[in-house]
Amino acid sequence: MYDPTRLAALVAVAEAGSITRAAERLGYTPPALSQQLAKLEREAGATLLVRSHRGARLTDAGELLVARARRVLDEMERARHELARLAGLSGGTLRLGTFQTAGIHLLPPVLSAFRRAHPDVELAVADYEPPEGVSAVAAGEVDLALTHVYEPSTPAPLPSSVRAEPVLVEELVLVTAPGHVLAGGSARLPLTELAGQPLISMAPGHPPRQGVEAALARAGATPAVLVETPGYALVCALVSAGLGVAVVPEMVAATAATPVGARLLEPGDLRRTISVVHRTDEAAPAADAFRALLRGAFGRVGQYRHDAGQHRHDNRASPQGS
């Protein structure tokens, strides 16, 4: 049985006239698309394309398979639409709430997959600083919301009509200016080594982080700059300029728009859990489909991990909020 993805790749090359242009249309790299086509040729037991510096043309076998592939893909598209109508996914709007780092770094690939699977469903995305997204879901303002909690902390209880499903867990890591003495080494840094260090602090303006700030205070870190709102891009910029050190989620450190050093801490019990919040008292096929894609993308409780050490990023990186 032929893989429909590879059939679609062959049709795209036939229409574009070259592997490079077809790869751009499909969102592949040319080598990745070439690999898919090579697998299809092995499945077919025939050469399907003749490649040259001017592009790619179909062989007789390729022409035959493309004609059949178009029929197969058309039938699959009709089936998808009919199944969507049966599932209640043929129209309407899926309203999503998110906070900024999740909206920039986690949401786009899942939204793209949802749009491919359910193109008739409109998408609306709104920004909610946690835990405001929970209230928005409970009030019916949005269908789903990405939110987070920090450890240690005392999370607020959820409304009875709302459930939070963990999606991703990430440690909090130390970020410093490049070349800072604490940035060196690959071993975890004991929290006690932060004693006397000037800290870029996000309390008192960010209640979810106050438990983390308390842990840092007990370790002896000294607040040097108070950031009243949870703007991680600003925090990393101040750290990069040498105004202090900070403790931020791994995702933030790995995607900082300014050069920073990063190091894992010991013990590794400072964490952020990102969850998707949804209502439990009403049927919502689009929301259920989106949550299934989130689970497929990140697992039941995914783990975010990057290599500790020096991280440098150019200014094309996206701005970071909470």
Query: The domain that contains 265 carries what CATH number?
Result: 3.40.190.290
Residue that is last in its domain, among 55, 86, 117:
86
261 and 179 assigned to the same domain: yes
What's the length of the chain?
322
The Cα 66–Cα 18 span in angstroms is 15
Query: Does 44 have pLDDT greater than 60?
Result: yes
Q: What integer is the mean pLDDT of 263-272?
A: 91
157 and 287 assigned to the same domain: yes
Number of structural domains (the chain) is: 3
211 and 180 assigned to the same domain: yes
Look at residue 67 in the predicted model and tell me its pLDDT.
Answer: 92
184 and 258 assigned to the same domain: yes
Look up tokens 């303006």; give the residue: 205
197 and 231 assigned to the same domain: yes
Residue that is last in its domain, among 64, 86, 108:
86
Spatial contact of 293 and 123, defined as CB atoms under 8 Å apart: no
Domain of residue 240, residue span = 169-271
58 and 98 assigned to the same domain: no
Structural domain includes residue 318: no
- CA-to-CA dists, residue 106 to 118, 246, 270, angstroms: 19, 23, 21
Cα dihedral sign for 6, 9, 10, 11? Answer: positive
Structural domain includes residue 229: yes
Three-state DSSP at 200 gives: strand
158 and 283 assigned to the same domain: yes
118 and 264 assigned to the same domain: no
Structural domain includes residue 315: no
- Residue 274 in tokens: 């990102």
pTM: 0.67
The Cα 274–Cα 303 span in angstroms is 10
CATH of the domain at 20: 1.10.10.10
Per residue in 116-154, pLDDT (tens digit) is 888 888 999 999 988 899 999 999 999 999 999 999 887
Query: Does 49 have pLDDT greater than 50?
Result: yes
Look at 113 and 281; give whichever has higher pLDDT.
Answer: 113
Which burial class, exposed, middle or buried, applies to 130 when counting CB atoms under 10 A from its CB (0-12, 13-18, 19+)? Answer: buried
**How does strand 260-263 pair with strand 162-176?**
antiparallel
Spatial contact of 274 and 164, defined as CB atoms under 8 Å apart: no
Structural domain includes residue 313: no
CATH of the domain at 111: 3.40.190.10
Look at residue 85 in the predicted model and tell me its pLDDT.
Answer: 57
- Of 51-60, 107-116, 209-218, 310-319, which range is least confident? 310-319
Q: How far is CA 169 from the centre of its chain?
A: 12
15 and 37 assigned to the same domain: yes
Task: List CB contacts of 94: < 8 A, sequence separation 6 or more.
Answer: 114, 121, 122, 123, 124, 143, 144, 286, 287, 290
- CA-to-CA dists, residue 186 to 101, 175, 309, 310, 312, angstroms: 26, 13, 6, 10, 16
Residue that is last in its domain, among 33, 57, 86:
86
Percent of the chain with pLDDT over 90: 39
Look up tokens 């193109």; give the residue: 119
Amino acid identity, position 311: H
290 and 151 assigned to the same domain: yes
Q: What is the DSSP letter of 131?
A: T
Spatial contact of 231 and 152, defined as CB atoms under 8 Å apart: no
Q: H or E stretch including 57?
A: strand 55-58
Structural domain includes residue 72: yes
Q: Assign residue 163 a region (left: φ > 0; alpha: ψ between -120 and 50; beta: otherwise).
A: beta
208 and 259 assigned to the same domain: yes
Structural domain includes residue 231: yes
Q: How far is CA 210 from the centre of its chain?
A: 25
Task: List CB contacts of 181: < 8 A, sequence separation 6 or more.
Answer: none
**Strand locations in 280-312, DSSP E?**
302-303, 309-311
187 and 265 assigned to the same domain: yes
Amino acid identity, position 216: L
Number of CB atoms found within 10 A of residue 77's CB: 11
**Strand locations in the chain, DSSP E?**
49-52, 55-58, 93-98, 122-127, 144-151, 162-176, 189-190, 198-201, 222-226, 246-249, 260-263, 265-266, 271-279, 302-303, 309-311
Structural domain includes residue 320: no
Name the band, by pLDDT with cuts 50, 70 and 90, for residue 304: low
Structural domain includes residue 71: yes
